[in-house]
Amino acid sequence: MTFGKMKLAAVTIAVTLIVASSSAETASNRITVSVRGHGPDVVLIPGLASSAAVWDNIAVHLEKNHRLHIVQVNGFAGVRAGANAQGKIIQPTVDAIDAYIKSNNLKAPCIIGHSLGGLMGLMLATEHPDDVGKLMTVDSLPFFSILLGATNVTDAEPQATMMRDHFLKESQEEYGDDERSYFPSLVKSPEGLNLAAEAAAKSDKSVVARAMYEAMTTDWRPKLGGIKTPVTILYAWDASEKIPQIFSDGVIRENFAALPNKTFARIDNSLHYIMYDQPAAFATQVDAFLK
């Protein structure tokens, strides 16, 4: 589940435990934010069913020259759900990130979001443009359900409902087993696969189900034209997915076509978790983005 799992059947995005940091603050009952490093501010948002630990390697790379604010969505990766135990997830999380940025007086930080975190970054840039100096989306889309053949939210609704309800009917153990069985299609790295799958399996299935439904029925394409913030669109391609490279390129470019100030960058030989499968190439792209 994720942009990767969505490349086949859903919108879940996963990894492991909360990142170690020099300081940690519960920013709200929606998110927990870990802070580490010194320098210009960078906010990192993981994806659906993911842990903040997905950013561990890049955090070590960046923390000498940047102050990192690493978001953990409550209810994912074994973290208590808090206010996410019921109701909507995505918009309240975007609102919580906005509140964190404002309350901590961050001045137009750079935002990096993986998959669902990338969608949240697009929403933040639209609704709170002063919060975002630059944005990088990592293997994300403004409308995930395009990967399942939907052309609009109405098309996406039946499958999104079916998938949400399936998760809700499963036991937590059944849900965890499903996640572990799917993740080899999302991560090539053995270590990364273990981290990602276990984080997903430990996530609160109700929080994941509702957030997945919301992601699948959110189409941000009509709002992209209003984003003036520079956006780097980083995405993965791997021959094992049996999707022609030119098709993958076309899907990305078509879906971000309305975005006025954009740069595309592709990393090959990687599945959905670029930061695990191609960490050196990922770090190079992040360095270029932050210059």
The DSSP string of 177-193 is HHHHHHGGGT--SHHHH
Q: What is the mean pLDDT of residues 98-109?
A: 97
Tens of pLDDT, residues 7-44: 433 333 332 222 223 334 445 799 999 999 999 999 99
**DSSP run (H or E) holding 276:** helix 274-277
**CB-CB contact of 22 with 32 (8 Å):** no
Cα(37)–Cα(59) distance, rounded to whole angstroms?
Answer: 8
Tens of pLDDT, residues 138-166: 999 999 999 999 999 999 999 999 999 99
**CB-CB contact of 277 with 187 (8 Å):** yes
Tens of pLDDT, residues 203-219: 999 999 999 999 999 99
Q: What is the mean pLDDT of residues 118-129?
A: 98
Q: What is the mean pLDDT of residues 48-54?
A: 98
Cβ-proximal residues to 248 (8 Å cutoff; 6+ apart), any chain: 235, 237, 266
Domains, the chain, ranges and CATH? Answer: 3-290 (3.40.50.1820)
pTM for the model: 0.91
pLDDT at 179 over 70: yes
When the pLDDT of each residue in the chain is averaged and rounded to a whole number, the result is: 91
Beta bridge partners of 43: 69, 111
Confidence bin at 195 (pLDDT 50/70/90): very high
